[in-house]
Amino acid sequence: MVVGNYPSESFSEVNAMTANRHTTLDFPLPGIARLSLHDADHSVNVFARELLQEIDAQLESLANNTDVAGLVIVSGKPGSFIAGADLTEFAASLDEPPQVIERVSRDGQNLFRRLSTSSYVTVACIDGICVGGGAELAVWCDRRIVTDNPKTQIGFPEVKLGLFPGWGGTVRTPRIVGLANAVEMITSGANSSANDAYKMGLADDLVPGGAAAADHLLQAAARMIHSERSSGAYLTDRQRWSQPIDMADNELAFLGATAVAMIQQETKGHYPAPVAALELLLEASSVDVDTACKMESEQFVPLFGSPINRSLLNVFFLQDRNKKGAGSDLDAADQPASLGVVGAGTMGQGIAAVSLRRGVEVVLSDNRAPALAAGEQAVLKEAAFDRELKGPNLDKVLELTPRLGITTDSEELGECDLVVEAIIEDVGVKQQLFQAIEPNAKASTVLCSNTSTIPITTLATGLEHPDRVCGLHFFNPVRKMPLVEVIRGKQTSQATIDRAAAFARQLGKSPVVVNDGPGFLVNRLLLPYMNEAAVLLGEGVTIKTIDSAAKAFGMPMGPIELHDVVGLDVCLHAGKVMQQAFSDRVVPTPIVDKLVGEERLGQKNGRGFFDWTKDKKGRWKKQPSEEVGRLVANLATPSQEKHDLSDRLMLPMLVEATLAIEDGIVEDVRDVDLALIMGIGFPPFLGGLFHWADAVGAGVIVEKLKGLKRLGKRYEPSEMLLRHAKSDARFYTSG
């Protein structure tokens, strides 16, 4: 679904202006018309205004052609069909009045419905990504053929933008694949592979991909068109798919109840679009296609331009901006092809495994032979993990083994393009390591540290080439966490930053470049949040109340639970580093010291703020600890003051974020927002910390801080906050 910035004209009224710039109509075989989409403005096909107008014009040109038996719709961009909407145009329409949004939805439906009412058979030939409006175009066709290209995916990701399909996706899909399949596809926003699409009946044929994919698709489509014309099966389906869905009331009720439960479990009630999509799918199943289309358009309107829609669009644009950041323009020959990892512990294993899985040659080093042997096995197991097998694929293990080297001598890593150390957080040990590697390193080798606390400038001290040293801070677990902080020391060159950021992208990560400083960016901003949670415990607020408040705000877990997941010993160490740097804003909290002293380290040893066990599937389960309850009670001094707990937790983080910008850690609020979304799971439906602050308003935030100022400097507004409050400026427009 796409809404362009065209409030006053339908597609057909201006089709002469853009004829053939984005589309080509030819007749490759007798009776077969082929409409090829080749968006002239983007690397992939996206539905923008001009492309839609051309499709309308091309269909109009075929309307009276009685020689056409069938129309084949293909992409002129190999390996990609249609990647959805042009979201820049989409965002430009957010403030259009409701009647305009509804009309554009109806225009889109009417355009694509022509494919299901034409005098000829219509076939979508899909090789590569086919999502959003592309999937809607495909389901309005009579038939769909897909290739076995692993990149061939069909899906409706609109719920990830706070919407549901609005050009007939909710109408046609359940009539083709069944209501249960459509509910799962549309409310989850997940893509279906070519095989899954074929199995559920969304695709009618599956052909080989590769270099000859276009020929395979055309030949299969021609055979299908002639078969359909002969049998008339497509006409039978057109009639059937225009009617209500035949489903018993008790089946409908059961599907609705189970789907609501699943959606609530996944979204925690923070995302309204999946529930709205479910309600529409259920209601529209009992009416004809005309009525269902009208319902889709009407119910689409309240979601479009809503705060959550705007926030999720902001997240999309943050990610898109990041793709064009440092190192994105490096040639493949300049990107690291080999990696040395020092340290075979949890982080070293994770970095090595994700790199090996992405085709990078890896050498793993550890001076402890038993740890190295165990690390080698763990890396191969993780790198070869197969979701369908729910374990390592043995063929993949055999394939990857020759690409993973091991050594107890870290000096042997000098021939690698990039080396990452993930060893003990000891500045002297790390410096000695780099000083041992550098003399044997290539002139182009980049030395990186995965440190979360030690300044990169300090680690580069004494090296001959400090310009080739940077931070490459991964987050745990590496396989899941998308963020990598690329940290620039005082002498780090731009070439080093570019190569490190490019490497992070090779691994499928989102690199955010930050300048050197205590805690860098994410940990610097995370500490006030976690510190305040410990302060609240000292004021007599319960663990359950604190964590519940954070999750109600939208955080994936509460800050007390997060202490356990990170490791209380790690939190204690990081807290001391940050307290040395920011003593006026970090409050000493005895509870973490006490727990570490009692050997309660968190999830890692099963004992932290909670007691932890693993179930039969190896998943961690937590239980409240009576011992911790007593410890907290003994250390607490209950406060009679009552504050909004989300303000207590989030405002110190926001204050620190503005101070980090003032300190030059990053220059743009968008870097902060992306880093917190990707690094700590800040709620995407709020769009990021500064996007949320804009929604609240700087003036309101400063007033809230005034009410909390007696608690200390961490609630004192920065100059940046005061400036924005005074001018009523938004962070996203004035920086």
The one-letter amino acid code at 624 reads P
Q: What are phi and psi of 471, to 5 degrees?
A: -90, 145
Distance between CA atoms of 41 and 647, rounded to whole angstroms? 45
The DSSP result for 295-327, as a single string, is: HHHHHHTTTTT-HHHHHHHHHHHHHHHHHTSTT
Which tokens hold the place of 650?
């989030």
Record the tokens describing residue 718, joined without a space: 């920065």
Q: In 582-697, which ranges are continuous DSSP H helix?
A: 590-597, 626-635, 645-662, 669-680, 689-696
> CA–CA separation, 79 vs 191, rounded Å?
16
Contact indicator for 582, 573 with CB cutoff of 8 Å: no
Give SS3 for 171: helix
CA atoms of 50 and 56, how far apart (whole Å) = 10
Evaluate whether 673 touches 318 at the Cβ level (below 8 Å): yes
Question: Which among 655, 639, 650, 524 has a CA at the least distance from the CA of 578?
Answer: 524
Among 4, 184, 178, smallest CA distance to 89 is for: 4
What is the DSSP secondary-structure string of 15-39? GGGSTTTSEEEEEEETTEEEEEE--
Calculate the CA 683 to chain-centre distance: 12
Helix and strand tally (H, E) in the chain? 31, 22
* Sign (positive or negative) of CA dihedral 192, 278, 293, 241: positive
Identity of the residue numbered 277: A
CB 696 within 8 A of CB 651: no
Q: Where do the H-state alpha helices sit in 539-567?
A: 543-553, 559-566
Closest CA to 520 of 679, 698, 330: 679
119: CB partners within 8 A, 6+ apart = 66, 68
Q: Calculate the CA 78 to chain-centre distance.
A: 25
Q: Are 362 and 356 in contact (CB under 8 A)?
A: yes
From the list 473, 563, 691, 724, the catalytic residue is 473
Q: How many CA atoms lie within 13 A of 585 on its CB side?
A: 24
Q: How far apart are CA 497 and CA 642, in angstroms?
A: 46
End-to-end alpha carbon distance in the chain? 32
Task: Find out whether 659 and 717 touch, Cβ atoms under 8 Å.
Answer: no
Q: Are 563 and 569 in contact (CB under 8 A)?
A: no
Q: How many residues does the chain have?
A: 735
Angle at 672 between CA 666 and CA 673, to 5 degrees: 155
- Which DSSP helix (H) or strand (E) runs through 143? strand 143-147
State yes or no: is 473 an active-site residue.
yes
Please give the Cα distance from 265 to 274 (Å, whole number): 12
Please say whether the dihedral angle defined by the alpha carbons of residues 213, 218, 221 and 226, taken in this order, is positive or negative: negative
**DSSP letters for 665-733:** S-S-HHHHHHHHHHHH---GGGTSHHHHHHHH-HHHHHHHHHHHGGG-GGGSPPHHHHHHHHHT--HHH
For residues 518 and 578, what is the distance between their CA atoms, to the nearest angstrom? 7
A 10 A CB-CB count for 146 gives 31
In whole angstroms, what is the distance from residue 727 CA to residue 569 CA? 43
C-alpha to C-alpha distances, 536 to 107, 445, 588, 603, nearest whole angstrom: 54, 47, 12, 22
Q: Which residues are catalytic?
A: 473
